[in-house]
Amino acid sequence: MNNNYDDKIIKNMMEQIHTPKYNVSKDVIKKISAVPKSKYFLRKVLIAAIIICLCAGLLGALKLIVVNVVNLDGETSQFEYPPNPAVITPTPEFEIEPIDIYNGFFDDITIGELRLIIDKNDYSAQMNIPDFDTSSYSELEEALKLSIIDFSLPYYIPDGYTFTKGSISYFLGEETLEAELLLSEEKNNNIYEVYRLPERYKKYPNNVFLYFNNEQGDEIRYSIFLTYSEEEGGSIQRNITKTTTTKTLEIQGFEKSLLLHNSAENAYFLNELVLYNEISPVKEITNFIRVFPKELPEEFKSEEIHYLTYSGVLYLINTDNLSEDEVIKIAKSIK
């Protein structure tokens, strides 16, 4: 009875939200049927890629012949088949769409493998930032070891919570993409190319998420964000609103630690811990990462690519239903 009454209250309240009608059809149809402006350029890139692939194949075959000829005179030798990577010139990337659009292309993915999908017709998802997803904590740790950044992970998680999944997203850190073409498929009048990326792309992470859940559906999300700046040592500014209460904590290993409790701005982060440390964890600060421009230029212009450096690492703990003490306990266990 009470529940019904409460439901009515909620319904009445929700009906006070005024949502004006919006004719979405026009915008959607326009986007779906839009012919890419620089299709001609893409065609040229595709033709160039095919020629390069053919050349790479020919060179590989030539090398095979040369090595075999040389081996005729020598003793038995271990011949290593030359790799035949598909080398393509990257098309500029602008807005990144969630990778789940292409889930079908990940069905046979092996653990630890990075894949890149290129959608030839859809600019909004032309080149996805590759993701690494796992439900194994040790696999996640192994993948993180390949990064140029030293990450810190929590060693205390409250009772009842277990690790459920983790993900790392990466930047494509180089101008020329070297990757193995696994599949080229036409779907819904689009051509999709699926590439397998070499391990070295795991050097440049963008962010890392670890999820811990209990049986009640509560979640602890541990997030690591790499911050970057056009100038080395740039600092982060955080939005602290009137509804945020802050408390400075002394946690070993972190220069600045701040506990933010924000109940009004966004309750999804009810208890939020931000541990911010400066550039010290970065091993190779000379490595550049590449960030793509947001606007779609008519053709690829190298001067429009921004080069940024990692400037710091930001750690966050977001929880649904934990006490402040528990959040601090997790923070203190981060090593």
Tell me which residues touch other proteins (CB under 8 A).
3, 5-22, 24-25, 27-29, 31-32, 97-98, 100-101, 103-104, 122, 124, 187-188, 190, 207, 215-217, 225, 227, 236-239, 263-270, 274, 314, 316, 320
Which of 20/74 has CB closer to other proteins?
Answer: 20
Minimum distance from CB of 22 to other proteins (Å)? 5
Which of 215/325 has CB closer to other proteins?
Answer: 215
**β-bridge partners, 184:** 193
Residue 167 sits at φ, ψ, to 5 deg, of: -145, 150
> Which tokens in the block code for residue 191?
């051509």
Q: Are 178 and 200 in contact (CB under 8 A)?
A: no
Minimum distance from CB of 121 to other proteins (Å)? 10
Q: Are 298 and 118 in contact (CB under 8 A)?
A: no
Which of 35/267 has CB closer to other proteins?
Answer: 267
Minimum distance from CB of 75 to other proteins (Å)? 54
Which of 104/160 has CB closer to other proteins?
Answer: 104
Which of 152/223 has CB closer to other proteins?
Answer: 223
Minimum distance from CB of 36 to other proteins (Å)? 15
Nearest to 276 by CA among 324, 314, 321: 314
Which of 148/274 has CB closer to other proteins?
Answer: 274
Which of 49/319 has CB closer to other proteins?
Answer: 319
Whole-number Cα distances in Å, 76 to 65, 115, 260, 301: 16, 37, 67, 50
Minimum distance from CB of 310 to other proteins (Å)? 12
Which of 134/319 has CB closer to other proteins?
Answer: 319
Minimum distance from CB of 120 to other proteins (Å)? 13
Minimum distance from CB of 14 to other proteins (Å)? 5
Q: Are 183 and 104 in contact (CB under 8 A)?
A: no
Minimum distance from CB of 29 to other proteins (Å)? 7
